[in-house]
Amino acid sequence: MAVTDLFPGEIAAELLKILISISRESFMCKSSAEQMVTYIQQILPIIQEIQYSGVELSELRQFQIDRFVHTLREGQELAKKVQACGRWNVYRKVQLARKMEKLEKNILRFLNGPLQAHILADVHHMRFESAERFDRLEFSARRLEEQLGGMKIGVGGGGRLAEAVKRGGEEEESCEGLTSMGVGMALGKKKVKEMLIDRDDLRVVGIHGIGGSGKTTVAKEICRDGEVRSYFDDRILFLTVSQSPNVEQLRSHISEYIEGKDMIKSHGPIRRWKSQFERRIGVRTLVVLDDIWSLSVLEHLISRIPGCKTLVVSRFKFPTVLNLTYELELLREDEAISLFCHFAFGQKSIPLSANENLVKQVVRECKGLPLALKVIGASLRDRPQMFWASAASRLSQGEPICESHETKLLERMAVGIADLPKMVRECFLDLGAFPEDKKIPLEVLINIWVEIHDLFQEDAFAVLYALAEKNLLSLVNDARAGDIYSSYFEISASQHDVLRDLALYMSKREGINDRRRLLMPRRETRLPKEWERNMDQPFNAQIVSIHTGEMGETDWFQMDLPKAEVLILNFSSSEYFLPPFIDRMPKLRALILINYSTSTAILNNVEVFSKLTNLRSLWFEKISIPEFPRTTIPMKSLKKIFLVLCKIANSLDQSVVDLPQMFPCLTELTMDHCDDLCELPSSISRVHSLECMSITNCHSLQELPADLGKLNSLQILRVYDCPSLKTLPPGLCELECLKYLDISQCVGLECLPEGIGGLLKLEKIDMRKCSRIRNLPKSAASLQLLRHVICDEEISWLWKDVETAVPGVHVEFAKECFDLDWLVE
């Protein structure tokens, strides 16, 4: 039985309330009650975290927690007896006081004993999981390297995917470190700190500056500052609002954080054992609202709760709301040169071999904007002097369409984009199709590039490298690794909003009907009026991206899109009517539906799927999967299906849809975080074209199809983090083409199939956190092509015989480390 079944948090909370009452009313039990109040205030958030984590504990830890739960239950009954004891019943009170002392000792014994070991174990698991994610990342990088060979991407030499991801984080830190040397930024940080710490009369303060001036960098540096963290006791919430926010969701988030109902991660160290009881009204809290665009949105998000201060980061001043605003100064010439040289030459000063006057001329054209210096510097790295001279000339002649500094910035940065290879430039412009301040899953991005630019997957990754190298996007290892996108490298792409503005700006240079990309810059309640005014003529867009709230049938108008190959529907609602003009998109090859609301969306007008005869890739996120009409024509071109955070219900049952008939050419199926998925439909075993199947983070999945072995083309099978899965079907051993098996974090698995040796082409198996598997089938020694095994150290000995029988097998496990110093970093 899980700890959540035995201990629903309310036990300790209720006991705490009773003890507080006893400490005020009962003289004989006052001392013990006060001590236990202190103890339970310390232990309550830890127990609640265990309760809500959803992680299954080891048998020993579960037993210890169960015993402690039993102690608390007894304490709860004892405390009620103390409360009910008559005022003059002295003998009874003495008896109860002794029992209270004994209860106090039992609680203290747990705090000083098993709890300390649990904390060390948790630290170890956190560190182990981090190493695990990078292990996955490294494997993906090595696999990609084999495909790319010795290819060098871009001027600087490219590097592996793992290095690109690492650089994505290091570049931000490096850039922040360099710009923090600037007098303007250092002064800005100092002034804003004073507003937050020294001025009790200032409740709402702001940082103001144009796009790309480093506002967010300063705000993040303030959040990392030791004095600020100490003043607010690490209660700092950083939220990116953007132009299309879900205001109610943000308000709820802020309220829960301030009131202590939310155990989310904030800036600074993870305060896992900080008492939630202390997060009460009046305690100092800092809420940072980054990228605010609207006064009305800001007014809804500012908290009036005593003790809470708000830092607003925006391109606008909002004088009617902010008590005080600091306007960020741009970089001085020497500071700008230092930052520019870092990205152009890899050092902080102009090298002797460079033309100093030419470098300074280019720097001056960047007008002291950190983002412009970063992008243009990277675009000129390792270029010949004549190229520099040409760039300087074009920068100086850039004629903005208006006189705003921000438009000038886009004009100057467009020069750096124009010099990219054509394919890299086109892929950069495609990034404008995604909402601002949202992470872009690589699976989506790579699929789009493969489909519309006719690239091989490895070539699409080469483009990704080139863009990351030029600082035009960042590759980030998702903090929720093992979550939404973990089945695909656990990586996503992110982009500065000014760079997204640049992509949108450059995509609008043609007339609206002639643009290659028809994009909505932000979420609107309806389609743009400009589109409606031009609907009488065909739109020649290859990519169409729509961003709205709920859309009904009457909210759409007909559009003729004969060349559209990618349709991205971003929305936020619980119900969504698919656009009727899909049937006027005969070349549509990739359809992406992403719902940003808090609940899954019901789709209407699913009949349009019968028209998508050329569709090759389908991505559903936070959607209730519809039942496709029986009249739907088989989707013979569809190769890839991704269902993320979706509700499956019975939509894939044999009685509803015949999968092999509906998707006869499907090669890749991903189902991630589909929490109502209890079993896979049996008909999936007849989709003989399937080469890759990923069923991940589906916590209700209890079994795989018995005849799974019929998937005679399957090469990759991921079934990780499915804790309810108890066994693997014997049919799995008949997968004659399987090369990679991932069953990691399937904590319920107790054994591998006896015939696993039948997987003659298996090269790698990942079985981390499968601690219940205590023996291997003898047939495992027949895995002659096996080269890599990843497992926990305590069960690594199981593979000794296989290592002896199969030369070249490498068994990898994470080393245990209980060092707590890393928590301070």
574: domain CATH number? 3.80.10
Of the three residues 264, 295, 327, the one that is the final residue of a domain is: 327
Answer whether residue 360 is part of any domain: no
- Write the single-letter amino acid at 390: S
Residue 571: predicted pLDDT:
93
Shared-domain flag, residues 312 and 217: yes
Measured between alpha carbons, how far is 247 from 549 in angstroms, rounded to an integer? 13
Residue 494: predicted pLDDT:
80
Residue 734: predicted pLDDT:
93
pLDDT surpassing 80 at residue 628? no
Shared-domain flag, residues 763 and 799: yes
Is the distance from CB of 520 to CB of 542 less than 8 angstroms?
no
Answer whether residue 46 is part of any domain: yes
Tokens of 233: 């006791």
Shared-domain flag, residues 693 and 618: no
Question: Region 347-358: what's the mean pLDDT?
Answer: 88
Shared-domain flag, residues 670 and 816: yes
SS3 368: coil
pLDDT surpassing 90 at residue 714? yes
Shared-domain flag, residues 504 and 517: no
Answer whether residue 585 is part of any domain: yes
Query: pLDDT band at 27, cuts 50/70/90?
Result: low
Shared-domain flag, residues 520 and 643: yes
Which residue has 């082409």 as its token pair? 761
Query: pLDDT band at 569, cuts 50/70/90?
Result: very high
Is the distance from CB of 288 to CB of 223 less than 8 angstroms?
yes
Q: Domain of 301: which CATH number?
A: 3.40.50.300
Residue 825: predicted pLDDT:
29
Question: Region 803-814: what's the mean pLDDT?
Answer: 84
Query: pLDDT band at 604, cuts 50/70/90?
Result: very high
Query: pLDDT band at 56, cuts 50/70/90?
Result: low
Answer whether residue 105 is part of any domain: yes
Question: Region 755-778: what's the mean pLDDT?
Answer: 91
Q: Domain of 757: which CATH number?
A: 3.80.10.10
pLDDT surpassing 90 at residue 634? no
Query: At 330, which helix (H) or strand (E)?
Result: none
Query: pLDDT band at 86, cuts 50/70/90?
Result: low
- Write the single-letter amino acid at 169: G
Residue 47: predicted pLDDT:
60
Question: Region 287-296: what's the mean pLDDT?
Answer: 87
Residue 611: predicted pLDDT:
83
pLDDT surpassing 90 at residue 353? no
Measured between alpha carbons, how far is 412 from 376 in angstroms, rounded to an integer? 8
pLDDT digits (tens, 9 = 90+) for 107-131: 777 666 665 666 555 544 544 444 4
Of the three residues 327, 362, 383, the one that is the final residue of a domain is: 327
Residue 45: predicted pLDDT:
62
Answer whether residue 339 is part of any domain: no
Answer whether residue 562 is part of any domain: yes
Residue 649: predicted pLDDT:
84
Shared-domain flag, residues 813 and 671: yes
Q: Concatenate the DSSP letters of all residues of 671-717 into one string.
A: EES-TT--B--GGGGG-TT--EEEEES-TT--B--TTGGG-TT--EE
Residue 158: predicted pLDDT:
39
Q: What is the mean pLDDT of the chain?
A: 77
Residue 379: predicted pLDDT:
79
Shared-domain flag, residues 99 and 237: no
Shared-domain flag, residues 564 and 681: no
What does pTM read for this prediction? 0.61
Question: Region 612-638: what's the mean pLDDT?
Answer: 85
Question: Region 731-741: what's the mean pLDDT?
Answer: 93
Shared-domain flag, residues 90 and 193: no
pLDDT digits (tens, 9 = 90+) for 301-344: 888 888 899 999 987 778 888 888 888 777 888 888 888 898 88
Q: Which of the 8 DSSP states describes residue 393?
A: H
Question: Region 228-244: what's the mean pLDDT?
Answer: 86
Answer whether residue 795 is part of any domain: yes
Measured between alpha carbons, how far is 451 from 637 in angstroms, rounded to an integer? 12
Residue 171: predicted pLDDT:
47
Residue 724: predicted pLDDT:
93
Q: How many domains does the chain have?
A: 5
41-50, 346-355, 453-462: range with lowest mean pLDDT: 41-50
Measured between alpha carbons, how far is 567 from 588 in angstroms, rounded to an integer? 7
Shared-domain flag, residues 524 and 446: no
pLDDT digits (tens, 9 = 90+) for 158-207: 344 555 555 455 444 444 444 444 555 777 788 888 888 888 888 899 88
Residue 464: predicted pLDDT:
86
Query: pLDDT band at 283, cuts 50/70/90?
Result: confident
Residue 477: predicted pLDDT:
62
Of the three residues 587, 616, 647, the one that is the final residue of a domain is: 647
SS3 326: strand
Q: What is the 3-state secondary structure (H, E, C) of 751-772?
A: CCCCCHHHCCCCCEEECCCCCC
Question: Region 587-610: what's the mean pLDDT?
Answer: 91
Q: Considering the chain, what percentage of its residues have pLDDT values greater than 90?
A: 27
Shared-domain flag, residues 490 and 524: no
pLDDT digits (tens, 9 = 90+) for 369-407: 787 788 788 878 888 888 888 878 766 654 333 344 455
pLDDT surpassing 80 at residue 296? yes
Residue 15's domain comprises 8-114
Answer whether residue 317 is part of any domain: yes
pLDDT digits (tens, 9 = 90+) for 643-662: 999 999 887 877 777 888 88
Question: Region 38-44: what's the mean pLDDT?
Answer: 65
Residue 43: predicted pLDDT:
66
Phi, psi of 96 (to 5 degrees): -70, -35
Residue 585: predicted pLDDT:
92
84-93, 187-196, 426-435, 718-727: range with lowest mean pLDDT: 84-93
Q: Which of the 8 DSSP states describes residue 207?
A: E
Indicate the pairing of strand 640-644 with strand 668-672: parallel
Alpha helices (H) along 114-210: 114-148, 161-179, 183-197
